[in-house]
Chains A and B, each alone.
Chain A
Amino acid sequence: AQSVAQPEDQVNVAEGNPLTVKCTYSVSGNPYLFWYVQYPNRGLQFLLKYITGDNLVKGSYGFEAEFNKSQTSFHLKKPSALVSDSALYFCAMRDLYGGATNKLIFGTGTLLAVQP
């Protein structure tokens, strides 16, 4: 079965400190992985994706994620957090066995709170 897990419901970090939002996945095959961000009362915005190639993926707003196949992880990182980064973050994986659906399988989300 395919699944995406975000083990932390909430991550708290002080402004200026590095942040990590964790994501692990389970799939038989090579995953297509995504990070989306949702600001309050807004839709999901695409941050970055891993399809193939370099394990370190850079995305919008200074975020990056590292694909680790041996640990089946795709953690989101940023060297220096901003208060404006406070939002709900979703990790997602493309359903490899859904045929033409190409649907996304989402984690439950992690609320990032950056304190000034």
Chain B
Amino acid sequence: NAGVTQTPKFQVLKTGQSMTLQCAQDMNHNSMYWYRQDPGMGLRLIYYSASEGTTDKGEVPNGYNVSRLNKREFSLRLESAAPSQTSVYFCASRREGGSETQYFGPGTRLLVL
């Protein structure tokens, strides 16, 4: 059981370039999340999706877009990367029905030069 997978593991971009971070889960969870992790700031929510076809902004959505392609996949797109978007990005999913636990992918390290 793979859980939550993310690609790529590491990426270097130049300012202004675009890229899409991929996330997939095989646990049949409805809810999926994108967080960014920065030193001394913990994890902050970028976007989330409560179900297939729905997405909503989190705390720090500026500069990002998301797509919930189907129940399994939730992608994060940077249209024009900026150095401030250098971070580690984590995708997570959650099962409804009392568990409340979110399960995280291994992360994508992004460096924007």
Contact = CB atoms under 8 A, between A and B. Distances in A.
Nearest to B96: A102
Interface in A27-45: 32, 34, 36, 42-45
B74 interface: no
A67 interface: no
B101 A46 contact: yes
A43 B106 contact: yes
A100 B50 contact: yes
A13 interface: no
Contacts of A70: none
A90 B88 CA distance: 15
B43 interface: yes
Interface stretch (A14-22, A77-85, A104-112): A104-112
Interface string B3-24: 0100000000000000000000
A51 interface: yes
Interface residues of B, number: 25
A49 B90 contact: no
Range, interface on chain A: 20 to 34
A101 interface: yes
Contacts of B107: 42-43
Contacts of A101: 45, 48, 50, 56, 58
Given A90-B43, A108-B41, A109-B42, A102 B103 contact: no
Most buried by B among A43, A102, A106, A107: A43
A104 B58 CA distance: 11
B104 A43 contact: yes
B103 A103 contact: no
Interface of B: 4, 31, 33, 40-45, 48, 50, 56, 58, 90, 92, 94, 98, 100-107
